[in-house]
Amino acid sequence: MSKLRRPAAGGYGGTGGGARGGARGGARGNVLRGVEYASSPLLASKTPPWRSKLLVAFVGASFCVLLGRAVYVQIIDAPFFLRQGEARYARTLELPASRGRILDRNGLILAASVPVPSLWAIPKDMDSDPAVRAQLAKSLGFKPKELEARIGESQNFVWLRRQVDEQLAAQVLAHKFKGVHQVREYKRQYPEGEAAAHVVGFTNIEDRGQEGVELAFQDELLGHVGSRRVIKDRLGRVVEDIGDSTAPEDGEDIALSIDSKVQFFAYQRVRDAVIENKAKAGSVVVLDARTGEVLALANYPSYKPDDRRNLSGAQLRNRALTDIFEPGSTMKPFIAGWAMESGRVTPETPIQTAPGRLTIGGSTISDAHPHGVLTVAQVIQKSSNVGTVKLAMQMQPREMWELFSAVGFGQRPQIDFPGAVTGRLRPYKSWRPIEQATMSYGYGLSASLFQLARAYTVFAHDGELLPSSIQKLPEAPQGAERDGTQGVMQTAGVRVLSPKTARAVREMLFMVTQAGGTAPKAQTMGYTVGGKTGTAYKQEGKSYSQKKYRAWFVGMSPAMDPRIVVAVMVDEPTAGKYFGGDVAAPVFSAVVQQTLRTLGVPPDLEVKPQIVSHPLPAEEESF
């Protein structure tokens, strides 16, 4: 086997080629080591001066921008940036104020706020497991789709259920659902329920008044919320208090003139009358005959203020203040009173009413049946249309208009209560003779039951029309005096009739409740009463329905020294009776007896146990 030979020095090119390569490599090394940095061809050319100045200017401008931004952030608009920074971690919590209470005249609670739990959630923190959400929906009383729709409204905050009972809140929180929290809110409670619903009204979920006293005295009841500055973490938990807190100011308590016992009994009686007579609705107003204060204002149908599901407009209407009607025969005492006041007649002046009919301008006015000659007192007792018209036609239209205006008809009652209506009283210059005649017995003008009750304070308070008040009067107003036996404040009103005339009318009203009058059923055990019945056809469009009636009774007790004025209205009785003496007078009787006993008024009649098998017959009323 032949042995490979090692190539000669200098590689494949021989010794000469190797020598030349070595010489070139050594020469290059010597040249690089010999070149100086300053003689580099890159640095040999001069840099233009503007380039360096531009660089310096750019650096300087940058510093100026940064300095300006720092001045803007730290000095000029510092409050804005502080607020933005604080908004990332600080929160202002509202400290709710308790809404003021509504009290009756004796300090009993008609409306009050109590703390209750409300449930809310942060949807982005909630468990997305469908089974967990279905369980949450079941606990809240929702369907799963309802819960999903609710939490889809926002990712940061949604209400789940507001103002729930303690048991439901405890059941939901016991499951420890992620993102579900509880807060305390105030909820309104109404102890008297349906009986006082139209007086106190109600609030909405935000605790703002919507009806009744809750609406009328919203500003006083509301109060002022407080505030508290805190730092919260991402889960909404309070970490630290910062700054000063402002304490909430609770709303004022409102003391009403309403007596809750009188209110409850009045509501019961009108409710029973509506049901018994198969009527559409009914109302009762009770006024203090010496101060004008409202002791009761009840309507049926009614509603529960703290449970308004399926609430209808018929239930919501405060009919005593909002519904107007033609007052019918209840206007007759005003005509008789003014005829006596103007000196035209006396209570014993005879009036010829035969043959029970009177024609004016082609229209015939009739009595229920002929009476012949009646005194002025008997005209009121027997409710004669013909006798009343003959008294009225002796007057000028302006006289009647001024009389009706003086007792409050055609004017909105000055009472702190929403919804009170004006009624209708046309200017006297447009009256035709037949219209003047019909207005004397209550057709052609309209008023609310509250207006009618207040108008009768003219007779009860010796000829003065009293101002009305839904609030308890704290002290006697100017011109008031006190009764020595009862300690009852006597309020001065607007003089309409003389005391002598007012007392004469009271005697006529007393006769209405006796044998031969239209309302013996208004009599009350232990107390004398006086008042006037009213029955009228209901107007439908431009004509009157011959099958629909309103029945009412307005009166006072005790008859000769009145302590209260009571007005009762029953709308559309359909059980066979429709006269005010048959339908409304019994309600008046029951309310008067209970109210006077509640007020501690001593009886002015001797109370004797007796069994009455045949009630006194009532005179058929003309209407």
What is the set of active-site residues? 329
d(CA 523, CA 590): 9
Backbone angles phi, psi at 77, to 5 degrees: -115, 35
Instruction: List all residues 6 or more positions away from 421 whose beta carbon is below 8 Å from its beta carbon.
Output: 321, 322, 323, 324, 412, 448
Taking a C-beta distance cutoff of 8 angstroms, is the pair 480, 492 a contact? yes
Contacts of residues 169-172 at CB distance under 8 Å and 24 or more positions apart, as own/partner, are: 169/117, 169/119, 171/139, 172/119, 172/136, 172/139, 172/140
Transcribe 468-479 into DSSP letters. Answer: PBSBPP-SPPTT
Give dist(CA 392, CA 374) in Å, integer.
Answer: 15
- Residues 482 and 485: their CA atoms lie apart, in Å, by 9
Query: In this structure, which amino acid lies at residue 387?
Result: G
Report CA 125 to chain centroid distance, whole Å.
39
User: At 379, which amino acid appears?
Assistant: V
* Cβ atoms < 10 Å from Cβ of 562: 26
Q: Provide the phi-psi class of 163: left if phi over 0, else alpha when psi is between -120 and 50, else beta.
A: left
- 588: tokens are 């008046």
Name the burial class of residue 74, with classes exposed (0-12), middle (13-18) and buried (19+) by CB atoms within 10 angstroms of its CB: exposed
Tokens of 172: 């939901």
- Taking the chain, what is the end-to-end CA distance rounded to the nearest angstrom? 158
621: nearest Cα among 559, 531, 556 = 531
Nearest to 306 by CA among 194, 453, 429, 166: 194
SS3 374: strand
Among the listed residues 401, 407, 495, the one whose alpha carbon sits nearest the alpha carbon of residue 440: 401
CB 112 within 8 A of CB 188: yes
User: What is the Cα–Cα distance from 515 to 322, expressed in whole angstroms?
Assistant: 35
